[in-house]
Amino acid sequence: MRTPSLYKHIDGMPGLQRDIMLRAKTSLAHVLGQSAIGRSRDDAIRALALAYRRWALQHPGQYPMTVHAPASGDDDDASVSSSISDVVFNVLEGYGLLGDDAVDATRFLRSSLHGFVDLETRGAFELPVDLERSFARLTESVVVALDTWSR
């Protein structure tokens, strides 16, 4: 394929980056949704956390593209981003978390998972303690926090 022909299919570098971002978010939404099927509350959070981390580690180049809020006026990005948050909101409903409480809990969950995964994918964890153990403890801390969130 010649370069001029390529631009008939994509809108330059920004268009290519947008298309990759949309595919990455779609893939992550699918993986998270699949992880939560048939599970609720603590089991769903654990499965969601593992799926999130696994996806990020398998797609280290795409992962950073999934963390940004949708661009203003980009309906496709808004839709796929919403599909990710809908999975989380559905899981949090099992804890009775709705509305503003669900948004707060989503931000907490996302911050916890993203912080760990971002540091891990950047090679920032060099201490001689098993990462699986550390991630399991983080996940269990999230579960305990969500169990007591509305009290």
Q: Which range marks the domain in which residue 20 is found?
A: 3-147
The per-residue pLDDT string of the chain (151 residues; one tens digit each, 9 = 90 and over) reads 555 555 566 667 877 888 899 999 999 999 999 999 999 999 999 999 999 999 999 999 999 999 999 989 999 999 999 999 999 999 999 999 999 999 999 999 999 999 999 999 988 988 888 999 999 999 999 999 999 987 6
The total number of structural domains that make up the chain: 1
Residues 6+ apart with CB under 8 A from 10: 16, 19
Please report, for the domain that includes residue 52, its CATH number: 1.10.357.10
The whole-model pTM stands at 0.89
Residues 6+ apart with CB under 8 A from 42: 143, 146, 147
